[in-house]
Structure formats: C-alpha cells, structure tokens
Structure 1
Amino acid sequence: MKQIIYAEWLKVKSYRTFWVMVSLALLVIPAGNYIVADKFSSGELNKVSKMLGNPFSFPEIWLTAASINSYISVLFGLLLIILVTNEYTYRTNRQNVIDGWDRKEFVYAKLCWLVGLSLAALAVASGSALVLGIVYGGRPFSLEGFSYMIYYWLQLLVMLTIALLISVWVKRAGLSIVLFLAYNMMLEQLLVMIVKFNFGNIGGLLPLQSGDELLPFPLVGKMIPGAVSYDAYVYVSAMLVYIGGGISLVFRKILKSDL
C-alpha cells in the first residue's frame, strides 16, 4: 500500500492543476459557510434567526455546516474525475500494469484518493463549523449533533463513488465531467420527483438524496416538521449500499475490460 500511495504522490507532486483544484475545493468550504453565517448575522435574516433560533450556535452548527457543505463539495468529484481519466489519457494505467501492478492495485490507488479527499473535506468542514460556532454562536462548545458531519461525509463518499464509476466507464475527462454535473445538478432531482410522485417516500432513498434527507437546513426543519420520512439508519444504510455497490462495479469494470 505504501508503494501505491508513493506512486500516486509522484503523479501529482508537480501537477499544478491538481494543487489549484484541491486548494480551491478546500477553500470553498470555509468561504461558503462564512458567507451564509455573515448573512444570518445581519439584516432581515438576523430577525428570522432570532425568532427560530441561531443555526450557527452549538449544537445546531453541525447540521447547518453539513447542510451547506453538501451543496458546495462538487469540486472534489471533478478533481477525482480528472485524476482517474488522466490515467487513460496518458496511458499511465497501462504502464503501471506493465511495471508489475495488479489491476486491483489500480483501483486501490483511486480508492485512496476517494478516502483521502473525503477525509480532507470532513476535517476542513468540521474545523470551519467549530470556528463559526465560536464566533457566531452564543452557546458553549458541544459535540452533540456531530453525527450530521458524518452524514455529510457519507454523502460525499457517495458522490465520489459516482464520480469514480463514471470515470472508469467513460474514460474521457470532458464527457465524464458533463455526465457527473448533469446527474448531480439535474438528473437525480428529476428522478427523485418522479419516484416520489409515483411511489412515495422511497424516492428519498436515491444516492445523493439519501444524504439530503438527513441534512435539512435547521430553520427549514423547524418550519417543516416531519420532513424526514424514514429513520436515519435507513438513509445511512442506503448510502453504504451505494458506496459498496459502486466500488464493486468499478472493480468489475477494471478487472474485465481493456486498459
């Protein structure tokens, strides 16, 4: 595993696009949270916050930050797509196999990126929530509700699994990015509406929607009680199934197709 990680490091060590994108993806998290917090601390939104409670106080801050971050983490998916499709563009995946790598090791290498990017996002998101809770909140520090950050992390893992799956099937960066953005921004929402209309709450169990159902913005949750249709473990189980199923399909594709 150390050899795999070292090889991946060599690929990105001097790759300027990677460092620009990963820096931007990590910067967007605290920036996005700060912008929303600043809006809620002044003007008309501050009056709403005073009536319904400050969403940036502990313990509500964990849900607030997780909810905001769930909408602004798409850059991590784009970054993973670029890393994977570059392997096909520059034939480095073939060279790795020629040099003695097993095909499974190629997948392990990309799974390292999937886990690494998601953990980096979780760390930055948690740190941002901690700072905003101290600066904008009026209550002492509390880890109550930190489980919402774990829900955000699981949803991000689902998103990255989708990005990985699209990348290994399409193999081209441009088309993979278009398909990934289309699914995230439009296709799944359309599917959710259709399934909920025809089959009820089961539409909330679609891949990214499973996380969204667990991460309503706090003030919205107070104005629309009972918005979550199933217990949390149902949505968590659905996300774990999507992650496991997506990774299995990636292994199947890599092991049985030409590189």
Structure 2
Amino acid sequence: MKRIIYTEWLKVKNYRVFWVILVIAAIMIPAGSYVPAEIYTRQLKDAAKMLGQAPFSFPVVWQTVANISSYVTTLFGLLMVILVTNEYTFRTNRQNIIDGWDRKEFVYAKLFWVVALSLMAFLLSVLTACTYGFVYGDKPFSTENFIYLIYYWLQVVLTLCIALLLSVWVKRAGFAIVLFLGYTMMLEQTLVFMLKRSVGRIGGLLPLQTADELLPFPVVGKMISSADRYDDSIYLFGLLLYIAVVIYLVFRKILRSDL
C-alpha cells in the first residue's frame, strides 16, 4: 500500500491544477460558513432565539457547518475526475500495469484518493464547526449533533465514488467533467423535484439526495413535516448501499475492460 500511495503522490506532487483546486475547496469550507455566521450573530440573533436554536452555537453548529460544507462537495468530486481521467490521457494506468501492478491495485490507488479527500473535507469541517461554535456560539462545547458531520463525510465519499465511476467509464476529461457537473448540479435535482411532485418522498432516495435529506439546515429542517420524508435510517441505509454498489461497479469496469 505504501508503494501505491507514494506513486500517487509522485503523480500530483508537481501538478498545479490539482493543488489550486484543492486549496480552493479547502478554503471554501470555512469561508462558506463565515458570512452566514456573521449575519446570524449580528443581524438575526434575536430571530434565531425565537426559533429556539442558534445555528452557530453548540450543539447545532455541527449540523449547520455540515449543511453548508455539503455545497463544496462538488469541487472534491471535480478533483477526482481530473485525477482519474489523467490516467487515461497520459497512459499512466497502462504503465502501472506494465510495471507490475495488479488491476485491483489501480482501483485501490483511486480509492486512496476517495479516503484522503473525504477525510480532508471531514476534518476541515470539524475544525470549522469547533472554531465557529466557540467564536460565534454562546453555549458550552457539546458533541450531541456530531452525527451530521458523519453524514457529510459519507456524502463526500459517495460523490467521489460517483466521480470515479464516471471517469473510468468515460475516460475523457472534458466529457467526464460535463457529465459529473451536469448530474450533480442539475440532472439529479431535476429528477428529485419531479419525483417528489408526482410520487412523493421516494424522490429523496436518489443517490446524492439521500445525503441531502440527512443534512437539512437546522431552522429549515424543523419546518419539514415527517410525512414528507422517510426516517433517517432509510436514507442512511440508501447512502451506504449506493457507496457499495458504485465501488463494485468501478471494480467490475476496471477488471473487465481494456485499459
């Protein structure tokens, strides 16, 4: 495994595009919560108290930051698309096989990035929530709602896995990026809207939507009727199932196709 990680490091060490996007994604996590925190604590503080919860006080801050950070997830997925399609563009995947790699090791190398990028997003969100909870909050530290950051981490994992699957199927960077952005930013949301309007809450069971259902903004979440959604355990099961299925499809594609 050390050999795989070292090889992956060599591929990105001097890759400027990778580091630029990674830095932007990393900055966006704390930056995305800054403006809402300022607005709520300086202009809407009384309104938040009337609703019975302050979004940037413990323990609600975990859920708030998880919800806001989820909007940055696409950037990490974009990184995955670039990393994987570069393998096909520059034929480094074939060179790895020639050098003695097993096809499964190629998948393990990409799953390393799934783990690394998702943990990075998770840890940055944890640090952001802690910092904002202490700076903007008025309640003592609590881990009561920390589960929302676990949901967020799983959302990042699923998004990265979907990006990986699209990349190994399409192989071309431009086309893969268009498909990935089109699906995550428009197609699925359109399908969710249509399904929820026509057949009800089943629309919430589409892949990325399962995570969105688990990550409502605190104030908005309390306004959603339980009749309009399933229990959280259903969405969590669906989220884990999608991750497993997508990883299986990636292995199936790599092991059976021509590199």
- Into which bin does the TM-score normalised by the smaller protein fall? over 0.9
Provide the alpha-carbon RMSD of the alignment.
1.3
What residue is the counterpart of 1:207 in the other structure? 207
Number of the residue aligned with 1:90 = 90
- Under a length normalisation based on structure 1, what TM-score does the superposition of the two structures give? 0.96
Deviation at 1:47, TM superposition (A): 3.8
Tell me how far apart the structure 1 counterparts of residues 257 and 31 of structure 2 sit (CA, whole Å).
42
| Matched positions, count | 258
- Displacement, 1:225? 4.3
1:23-62 Cα distance to aligned partner (Å, 9 max, x none): 111111001011221121223x334223212111100001
Per the alignment, residue 48 of structure 2 pairs with: 49
For the residue of structure 2 that corresponds to 1:72, the secondary structure is: helix
Q: Could you tell me whether the CA contact under 8 Å between 1:221 and 1:227 is conserved in 2?
A: no
Q: Which runs of 4+ in 1 moved over 4 A?
A: none
3-state SS of 1:128 partner: helix
Structure 1: gaps (5+ residues) = none
Report if aligned partners of 2:201, 2:228 keep a CA contact under 8 Å in 1. no
- Which SS does the other structure have where 1:116 is aligned? helix
Q: How far has the Cα of 1:198 moved from its partner?
A: 3.1
Deviations 1:161-212 (A, max 9, x none): 1111111111111111111111111100111122223332111111111011
Q: Give the residue type in structure 2 aligned to 1:50.
A: K
Partner of 2:151: 151
Q: Is the 8 A contact 2:155 2:211 kept in 1?
A: yes
Aligned to 1:222: 222
TM-score (norm 2): 0.96
Q: Distance in 1 between matches of 2:140 and 2:228?
A: 28
Partners of 1:12 and 1:18 within 8 A in 2: yes
Distance 2:85 2:119 in 1: 22
> Which residue in the other structure is 1:247 paired with?
247
Q: Which runs of 5+ in 2 are unaligned?
A: none
Instruction: After superposing the two structures, state which structure 1 stretch, 191-200 or 104-113, moved more.
Output: 191-200
In 2, the alpha carbon distance for the partners of 1:206 and 1:85 equals 25
Q: 1:42 to 1:228 in 2, by over 3 A?
A: farther
Tell me which residue corresponds to 1:115: 115
Post-superposition Cα deviations, 1:126-165, rounded to whole Å, max 9, x if no partner, equal 1000000001111000000100000011111111111111
Amino acid at match of 1:95: Q
Q: Which amino acid aligns with 2:240?
A: L
